[in-house]
Amino acid sequence: MLTNRQKKIIEFLLNNLGVFVTSSRLSSYCNVSERTIKSDIKAIKDKLDNNNRFRLISAPSKGYKLDYTHRVVNASENVLNLNELDYSKDFNEPKSRIRILLKMLLSCGIYHSKRKMIDSVFVSESTFYSDLKIIKGILSNYKLDLLYNKSKGYYIVGEEINKRKCLIKENLIPNLNLSSNMFETDLETISIIRKKLLNILSDYKFKISDKLFEDLLIYLSLAEERIKMKNTINNEVFVDGNIDVEMEIARDIFNKCFNFPEELIYNEILYLALKLRGKRDYDDISYISNKIVDFVSNSFSKIKKEFGVDFSENLDLKVVISLHFVPLLHRVKYDMQLENILLPEIKRSFPFAFDMANYFRILVFEEFDVWINEDEVAYLTLYFNFGLENVVLESKGKKVLIISKLKRSETIILRQRILQWFKNQITKIDIIPPRELCKTDIKSYDTIFTTEEVTDSMSGAFVPISLFPTDQDYSRMNIAINGFKSVDSIMELFDSELFFYGDVKDKNEVINKLIKLAKLKYNLPNKFDELIYSRENMSSTYFGSKIAMPHTLYPITQNTFIVVGLLANEIFWDDDHKVKLVLLVSTEINNPKAFQVWASLSHLVSDEALSDKLTNATSFNDITLIIKNRLKNFL
């Protein structure tokens, strides 16, 4: 059986197929002695002796290379079966081929011949050229170019920093790709780095979230691999400001986690220091300049004017956004903005808070001349949603206790789902582990839920719910908290005069038709059209399940209403999504409770079965009947 290191050597040789690699280079790459490499090579050769497709060639002073035993014609022949190791690939899939070619081009700083690249994915020359066009498009997203030299082949030109961004964002990191069928992750090595990194950050009292810690760990593992392959950052880092503390931490990380001479990796240390600056979780208000504090306060005043929601007395929100703002500005400045895999879910679940965060993005641009991407806006959305919850919770409501074994950091989905369902009814939610139940005054709570198994002693007093509450859970919780309420307040927002059915050629046409219907019924401000399109141009208002909900950038009308556009045929709403149903939504100005209509609408969109019914409806009565029947179970 091959060891993880031997598999790692094979992967390196495959990425450099047909090219000799010295034992010294493999030794540096695997961080072991050349004698160990020679032993590993012998073991690999023994495994390949009975393989009639690949062979390992060694040559004095040149090193080792992996090559085909003969010219492979069919993709099915490309199987390197070394016991548990399976190199079979689906070369009929363009995505698989492109990943292989990208990894080959980015793996080391050498030219790759056209024939070698074609042979590696077993396609025709015309298919290869089609794949290259896609690869060039991907590389351009990272400011990288693909050059071609007739005598040498293909070579990627660009900064090493951008090559690493491409490797990470395109999920091309061999040793960290858990879904890869080729190699297992070197968990032992990563575990060692993780422990050392934790100790170093702890020693410096450097606070960082779990997500950002994992991102940092991935980057360090990649940096180690790239440096071993002589792909280092050189004269690409420009620093504006004092980062002495971060430089000290970065230097300590490289010295304790790796074994590279500092003169070789000074720019690596400098770049890591910048990343640390952008990933840090600040909890000391002294880090925040008066300029930022004043900017956040002024932004809250403008949000109050445009959205009718007053955050001026919410000190917690002001502090948390100010603390988040320092590393955010740094990330934007140095092109290190975070990705957010929950972006679609956040947009769909908290649309009003997302619009506030979008408006805040505009204010940031006007003040600091930097543009925050949509992923970062989604993180800000969670803060603004926290503020909105506090606005709602000012009214009298119920106190809820939840008994769960979930860690505090894992309760956000459960807590947010409950608050989304019962925003107007709950003033407090406490979540405790079962072991603390005996120390808790349960009589002080109006309702008690549990995600754990209900025992005989708990039966009746504790309402069971799942960790990820379903519609059935909602029904139980709704009865426990309030009983049922009328749906008339929501249904009054729909009007047969505000309904369009028919064919349109594109998004702009249907939006214009819906705006025209709204203007026939309401006296709308002159800026209404402009604010609809301003919001649309900022980011897509596609909500999922073939439903879009265009709306103004911020509340501007005197009435809250919904204009329904049911399309005879689907149209593209953005580059990736088609829609069949369009709901143009307007919430009234100076009424902070008006935004609660979004909770009902986002709930409708998140129910795929219901969305299918809505998009297959053929009349206004069909639409309203479906919504009314669903709201009876929701409100």
The DSSP string of 586-620 is EPBTT-GGGGGHHHHHHHHHH-HHHHHHHHT--SH
User: Are 330 and 297 found together in one domain?
Assistant: yes
Q: Which residue has the tokens 């014609």?
A: 73
User: Are 492 and 625 found together in one domain?
Assistant: yes
CATH of the domain at 63: 1.10.10.10
User: Are 24 and 120 found together in one domain?
Assistant: no
User: Are 383 and 496 found together in one domain?
Assistant: no
Q: Which residue has the tokens 């298919």?
A: 127
Per the CB < 8 A criterion, the answer to whether 170 and 161 are in contact is no
User: Are 233 and 215 found together in one domain?
Assistant: yes
Region 463-467: what's the mean pLDDT? Answer: 79
**Degrees to nearest 5, angle at CA 187 with 184 and 192:** 155
Examine the pLDDT at 496 and tell me if it is beyond 60. Answer: yes
| Single-letter amino acid code for the residue at 59 | A
pLDDT digits (tens, 9 = 90+) for 136-153: 999 998 899 999 998 999
**Rounded to the nearest 10 degrees, how much is the dihedral formed by the CA atoms of 415, 419, 425, 429?**
20
User: Are 212 and 310 found together in one domain?
Assistant: no
CATH of the domain at 387: 1.10.1790.10
Give the end of a domain, one of 457, 481, 505: 481
Give the end of a domain, one of 217, 246, 279: 279
In this structure, of 97-111, 401-415, 465-479, the range with the lowest mean pLDDT score is 465-479
**What are 588's strand-pairing partners?**
557
User: Are 570 and 614 found together in one domain?
Assistant: yes
Give the end of a domain, one of 185, 204, 228: 185
pLDDT value for 172: 77
CB atoms within 10 A of CB 195: 11
pLDDT digits (tens, 9 = 90+) for 7-47: 788 878 877 777 888 888 888 888 788 888 888 888 888 77
User: Are 528 and 598 found together in one domain?
Assistant: yes
Long-range contacts formed by 338-343: CB under 8 A, 24+ apart: 338/212, 338/215, 338/375, 338/376, 338/379, 339/169, 339/375, 340/375, 340/376, 340/378, 340/379, 342/378, 343/374, 343/375, 343/378
What is the spatial distance between Cα 424 and Cα 389, in angstroms, rounded to a whole number? 9
Per the CB < 8 A criterion, the answer to whether 66 and 56 are in contact is yes
CATH of the domain at 144: 1.10.10
User: Are 179 and 78 found together in one domain?
Assistant: no
CATH of the domain at 436: 3.40.50.2300
What's the DSSP call for residue 372? -
Model confidence at 168, in pLDDT bands (50, 70, 90)? confident
What is the spatial distance between Cα 371 and Cα 353, in angstroms, rounded to a whole number? 19
- Count of domains observed in the chain: 6
Per the CB < 8 A criterion, the answer to whether 95 and 172 are in contact is no
DSSP 134-160: HHHHHHHTTT-EEEEETTTEEEEES-H
Q: Which residue has the tokens 């307007």?
A: 586
Examine the pLDDT at 194 and tell me if it is beyond 70. Answer: yes
What is the spatial distance between Cα 275 and Cα 330, in angstroms, rounded to a whole number? 9
Model confidence at 73, in pLDDT bands (50, 70, 90)? very low
Share of the chain above pLDDT 90, in %: 21
Residue-range definition of the domain harbouring residue 465: 398-481
What is the spatial distance between Cα 68 and Cα 62, in angstroms, rounded to a whole number? 18
What is the spatial distance between Cα 301 and Cα 261, in angstroms, rounded to a whole number? 52
Estimate the crossing angle of helix 210-228 against helix 23-30, to 10 degrees: 170
Q: Which of 355, 354, 420, 366 is nearest to 389 (CA)?
A: 420
pLDDT digits (tens, 9 = 90+) for 590-628: 555 567 678 777 777 767 777 788 888 889 999 999 888
Read off φ and ψ for residue 9, nearest 5 degrees: -65, -45
Model confidence at 354, in pLDDT bands (50, 70, 90)? very high
Residue 580 Rama label (left phi>0; alpha psi -120 to 50; beta): alpha
Share of the chain above pLDDT 70, in %: 82
User: Are 270 and 294 found together in one domain?
Assistant: no
* Higher-scoring residue by pLDDT: 55, 553: 553
**Rounded to an integer, what is the distance from CA 602 to the centroid of its chain?**
20
What is the spatial distance between Cα 178 and Cα 355, in angstroms, rounded to a whole number? 36
CATH of the domain at 539: 3.40.930.10
User: Are 495 and 612 found together in one domain?
Assistant: yes
pLDDT value for 343: 86
Model confidence at 184, in pLDDT bands (50, 70, 90)? very low
Per the CB < 8 A criterion, the answer to whether 373 and 401 are in contact is no
**CA-based diameter of the chain, in Å?**
86
User: Are 492 and 627 found together in one domain?
Assistant: yes
What is the spatial distance between Cα 490 and Cα 298, in angstroms, rounded to a whole number? 34
